[in-house]
Structure 1
């Protein structure tokens, strides 16, 4: 990571730039092989509304990386503060959910995702959050997250109909 700051700059995105996060999410889904058939028909609109609502409430932030010589973003990472069951029973009652971690292929292997994760972790800590969770989509992502201190947990999944589960779709990578 030495010299990363000489080649890239990181900044927090604004609410008006939330479509950028959604664009990176779409790229990530495409690369993962997540087809539109497995998503609900209006998922993009629902996600846009949810991102806008959560950003406005101070529960969502994204950080993006740009090459110092370009206005085109090359990597992103976000965090969403969640308080769902059963985690709301434990202090502090919420956790950070890491979202939209994606680096364009030409800029991978340079430490951008790790730096962006650090920014999201710092933001979560500033909000009083003690724990971060995520879904690792593939072996390379798992290695990145493990090197960043994440550990696999006890979560298990079962298809009740014999079809693919969300986890199996992601694990196919």
Structure 2
């Protein structure tokens, strides 16, 4: 049975971190992660939840989490020097492979955007994989001139 999305519980952070790890595997970036990745991320997410500056949204089917998306309020440089000091970072958008192409990523991304709106956050950022770029563009996100280099 499908339940509509809901806010994740602190006890569900380990499963969310596992989905985050799968996302890194799918993008070929798991080899860049620290050996204690799971432990570090779980500790950080618990702290961020407690501070009220992060929340994940999940979809559960038959008592199993099958999709998630995270919302993180950030105020790092250079944004902290702007009038809109804080911004919303959307991350950890992941849907288990058998459940893809059903609109779950869109639903959860919109849940994150609603959560930001409740917190009066009006600027949003995310890093999109090539396969997800069309989803975020359809939600109104636009590519930026930001560039990266990994050596």
TM bin, normalised by shorter chain, reads over 0.9
Contact 2:21 2:30 survives alignment (8 Å): no
Larger CA deviation: 121-130 vs 41-50: 41-50
Question: In 2, distance between residues paired with 1:66 and 1:15?
Answer: 15
| Partner of residue 30, structure 1 | 25
The TM-score, its normalising length taken from structure 1, stands at: 0.81
Aligned match of 2:37 in 23, 38, 43? Answer: 43
| Partner of residue 133, structure 1 | 125
RMSD: 1.5
Larger CA deviation: 26-35 vs 70-79: 26-35
| Partner of residue 59, structure 2 | 65
Aligned match of 2:81 in 67, 89, 94? Answer: 89
Query: Which structure 2 residue ranges, 5 or more long, are not aligned?
Result: none
Question: In 2, distance between residues paired with 1:12 and 1:62?
Answer: 6
Structure having the higher strand fraction is 2
Question: In 1, distance between residues paired with 2:66 and 2:80?
Answer: 35
CA shift, 1:157, in A, is 2.1
| Partner of residue 105, structure 2 | 113
Larger radius of gyration: 1
| Partner of residue 154, structure 1 | 145
Q: Secondary structure at the match of 1:74?
A: strand
> Any idea what the Cα deviations from partners look like across 1:112-133, whole Å, max 9, x if unmatched?
1111111110001111101110
Q: Does 1:9 align with 2:1?
A: no
CA shift, 1:155, in A, is 0.6
Q: Secondary structure at the match of 1:154?
A: coil
CA shift, 1:8, in A, is 4.1
Q: Secondary structure at the match of 2:76?
A: coil
Question: In 1, distance between residues paired with 2:89 and 2:100?
Answer: 22
Contact 2:71 2:112 survives alignment (8 Å): yes
* Superposition misfits of 4+ residues, deviation over 3 angstroms: none
Question: In 1, distance between residues paired with 2:4 and 2:148?
Answer: 39
Question: In 1, distance between residues paired with 2:144 and 2:36?
Answer: 31
Query: Which structure 1 residue ranges, 5 or more long, are not aligned?
Result: 1-5, 164-173
